[in-house]
Copies of this chain bind each other. A is one copy, B any other.
Amino acid sequence: MTKNTQGGETSLAETADDALDVFKALSNPVRLQILQWLREPRKNFPVERGIADPDEVGVCVSHITEKTELAQSTVSSFMSVLERADLVIATRVGKWTHYRRNEERIRQLVEMLGRTL
C-alpha cells in the first residue's frame, strides 16, 4: 500500500505533483479502459472468480487479466500504477487482490482539475 491505509479518510491538499502521477497513469489506453470497466464491476466482469462482492471489494487481477488479453504480470503492474495514483484501492481477500475505483479520490481530482487546469 502507498499512502493511506485503505481506510476511509482522505488527505486534503492535492499537489500539482499528484496531478502529474494521475495523468501519467491515465495516459495508457488499457489503464484508462480498466478504470472504465471498474465503474460497473458486475456488468463488465459477469463471471464470479473471487469470493467477495465486486461492488464491495472490486475485481480480482486474474479477471481483469482475462478481459485485457495481456499477460498477468503486465496487468499486475498496471494496477499498481493506478494504485500509486490513488485512482483505485486494493483489497486482498485470500489469494485474490481485488481492485475497485477510489470514487472519492476521483471526485476530488475532477474538482481539483476544474480549479487548477
A24 to B31, alpha carbons, bound, how many Å?
A: 12
- Total interface residues on A, using CB and 8 Å? 18
Q: How far is the CB of A113 from chain B (nearest CB, A)?
A: 5
A20 to B109, alpha carbons, bound, how many Å?
A: 17
| Number of identical monomers bound together in the oligomeric complex | 2
- Measured between beta carbons, the chain B residues less than 8 angstroms from A19 are 26, 32
Q: Is A29 at the interface (CB under 8 A from chain B)?
A: yes
Q: Contact between B117 and A106 (Cβ–Cβ < 8 Å)?
A: yes
Q: Is A16 at the interface (CB under 8 A from chain B)?
A: yes
- Measured between beta carbons, the chain B residues less than 8 angstroms from A52 are none
Interface set, chain A 1-22, CB cutoff 8 A to B: 16, 19-20
Contact residue among B20, B35, B36, B109 (Cβ-Cβ distance under 8 Å from A32): B20
A27 to B21, alpha carbons, bound, how many Å?
A: 8
Q: Is A110 at the interface (CB under 8 A from chain B)?
A: yes
Q: Contact between B35 and A29 (Cβ–Cβ < 8 Å)?
A: no
Q: Is A46 at the interface (CB under 8 A from chain B)?
A: no
On A, residues with C-beta under 8 Å from B are: 16, 19-20, 23-24, 26-27, 29, 32, 35-36, 106, 109-110, 113-114, 116-117
